[in-house]
Amino acid sequence: MKIQRVRGTRDLYPADAAVRNWLTDAWRRVSVRNGFAEYEGPLLEPLDLYRAKSGDELVGQLFTIESRAGEELGLRPEMTPTLARMVNARVQSLPRPIKWFSVGPFYRAERPQRGRLREFLQWNVDVIGSDELLADAECIFVAVDLLREVGLTAEDVIVWINDRRLLGSIFEALGIPAERHAGACAVVDRAEKLERSELTKAWDKAVGGSVPFARFEPLLSIDTLSGLRSCDEPVVRCGPVVERLEALDALFMLLQDFGITEFCDFNMKVVRGLAYYTGCVFEAFDRAGQLRSLLGGGRYDNLLKVLGGPQLAGVGFGMGDAVLYELLGELGRLPCTDPRLDVFVVVADERARSTAIQLTAALRGRGVSADLCYRKQGVGKQFKAADIRGAARCVIVGAETRERETVGVKDMASGEQVEMALATFLADPTGGAGQ
């Protein structure tokens, strides 16, 4: 019986695992240099945690199980609820601001599509305990820092930025009841995906017919802050709207200080579907607009309180690996992951095999990647094996090693081969390449 892997999951062969490790190393490297500390939580959480955070809509997207004790559990689909639970548990003892990141697997019971898997890796970066705009700006900077770290430029990607409070103040100025704001945000979030007739119908349903779509539509088409400020629509001159525009201006000034404005721009249509966002929201996309979002996040100032903790400000984002791999692959920016050895030990005389094994162990003990053939083979076949393994050097152990403690050393790139004392080789087994 031939058993296939589960749809929406991946088999990571050595080259694939090498790419994964390259990316997770980059995630950790960027996080640490920006002052974030790593944490981790369980893969299983109570379903009530996700119900409290996002309601039954999110629960319907989870892989769920029931424990023998009758507990309803879910494989984690995201990290923010776990983060909030963990912070709430020790909130009095944690220094502020709390700057944490995590890297790990996540699960969604969704139909697999390009860039959307059932099992995926995600990087999460959060700042908790600060309502300063600098926290929002720093999270956006960390996201851009990673994009640059993996070889992407402002010509490749764009980070779209908006503020849920700006939309709320516009809705209020238009006369949309406060209880209808969430529904109106959901329609704006889908604006790029719907035909105008569908969009109008969804809008009318969301706002209960209180304001025709034609009154909001001119604002939705404006794609710059300056354009929004200078438009003829009276709502943009209302005090709360002006205040939110000034806050966005201040955010973009901080992004300028961080030196990343070429990556960032305003977009009224970026809302983020999750209802717990309370302020700045942002998403990164490829410039060509062919792929799903590379990352997304924003400010969530009420989440810890919703989950039983204090009122504590938070801002953060998550980046999955699947879409990033798609983009890097299309651009030819994925790293070379061919397996490499520093040294391949060639046994030229079977009577020296014990010495060859000892030498291999000694090299490994010094942090040098080294290997040898398990069975007796001719020298030519061993050189071929070394080439397949990507060895930088071969060290040839034979009769001369037993008789006068010398070895042959072959540079696999140039083909040059020299004889040297075994002690000399051991003093610098990689020829300076490891320095």
- Average pLDDT value for residue range 409-426: 95
305 and 383 co-located in one domain: no
Q: What pLDDT was estimated at residue 167?
A: 93
- Average pLDDT value for residue range 49-66: 80
Nearest to 16 by CA among 321, 337, 320, 328: 337
120 and 242 co-located in one domain: yes
**CA 102/CA 27 separation, integer angstroms:** 9
Please check whether residue 212 is in contact with residue 174, taking contact to mean a CB–CB distance below 8 angstroms: no
Q: What pLDDT was estimated at residue 235?
A: 87
315 and 376 co-located in one domain: no
Domain count for the chain, please give it. Answer: 2
| DSSP sequence for 198-209 | HHHHHHHHHHTT
Task: Please report whether residue 221 resides in a domain.
Answer: yes
Q: What CATH number is given to the structural domain containing 372? A: 3.40.50.800
pLDDT band at 61 (very low <50, low <70, confident <90, very high): confident
Task: Please report whether residue 322 resides in a domain.
Answer: yes
pLDDT band at 55 (very low <50, low <70, confident <90, very high): low
Please check whether residue 282 is in contact with residue 297, taking contact to mean a CB–CB distance below 8 angstroms: yes
Looking at the chain, the whole-number percentage of residues with pLDDT higher than 90 is 77
pLDDT of 80-116, one tens digit each? 999 999 999 999 999 999 999 999 999 999 888 887 8
| Per-residue pLDDT at 53 exceeds 80 | no
352 and 280 co-located in one domain: no
Lowest mean pLDDT among 139-153, 202-216, 320-334: 202-216
DSSP H helix total and E strand total for the chain: 17, 16
Looking at the chain, the whole-number percentage of residues with pLDDT higher than 70 is 98
| Per-residue pLDDT at 377 exceeds 90 | yes
Q: What pLDDT was estimated at residue 57?
A: 66
Q: What pLDDT was estimated at residue 56?
A: 65
For 94-114, give one letter per residue: b (16+ CB within 10 A) or e.
eeebbbbbbbeebbbeeeeee
Cis peptide before 339 (omega within 30 of 0): no
Burial class (CB in 10 A: 0-12, 13-18, 19+), 167: buried
* Structure-model confidence comparison of residues 222 and 259, the more confident one: 259
Q: What pLDDT was estimated at residue 270?
A: 92
262 and 382 co-located in one domain: no
Task: Give the CA count within 13 Å in the CB-facing half-sphere of 156.
Answer: 17
320 and 345 co-located in one domain: no
Residue 85 tokens read as: 């639970």
pLDDT of 256-284, one tens digit each? 999 999 999 999 999 886 677 899 999 99
296 and 237 co-located in one domain: yes
Task: Please report whether residue 271 resides in a domain.
Answer: yes
Helix, strand, coil share (%) of the chain residues, nearest 5 = 45, 20, 35
Q: What pLDDT was estimated at residue 333?
A: 95
Q: What pLDDT was estimated at residue 299?
A: 95
131 and 31 co-located in one domain: yes
Computed over every residue of the chain, the mean pLDDT equals 93
322 and 411 co-located in one domain: no
**CA 172/CA 340 separation, integer angstroms:** 61
| Chosen domain end from 331, 364, 391 | 331
322 and 347 co-located in one domain: no
256 and 405 co-located in one domain: no
Q: What pLDDT was estimated at residue 275?
A: 72
205 and 89 co-located in one domain: yes
Task: Please report whether residue 432 resides in a domain.
Answer: no
| Chosen domain end from 307, 331, 355 | 331
pLDDT of 128-141, one tens digit each? 999 999 999 999 99
| Per-residue pLDDT at 434 exceeds 60 | no
pLDDT band at 42 (very low <50, low <70, confident <90, very high): very high
Q: Is 56 left (phi over 0), alpha (psi -120 to 50) or beta?
A: alpha
pLDDT of 396-417, one tens digit each? 999 999 889 999 999 999 999 9
The pairing of strands 157-163 and 264-266 is parallel
Q: What pLDDT was estimated at residue 420?
A: 94
Residue 342: other Cβ atoms inside 10 A: 21
**CA 28/CA 102 separation, integer angstroms:** 8
Task: Please report whether residue 312 resides in a domain.
Answer: yes
CA angle 307, 312, 317 (to 5 degrees): 80
Task: Please report whether residue 377 resides in a domain.
Answer: yes
| Chosen domain end from 272, 298, 331 | 331
Q: What CATH number is given to the structural domain containing 122? A: 3.30.930.10
Domain carrying residue 359: 341-427
Residue 88 tokens read as: 């709430």
Q: Could you say which DSSP state residue 4 is in?
A: P
Task: Please report whether residue 56 resides in a domain.
Answer: no
Task: Please report whether residue 391 resides in a domain.
Answer: yes
| Per-residue pLDDT at 319 exceeds 60 | yes
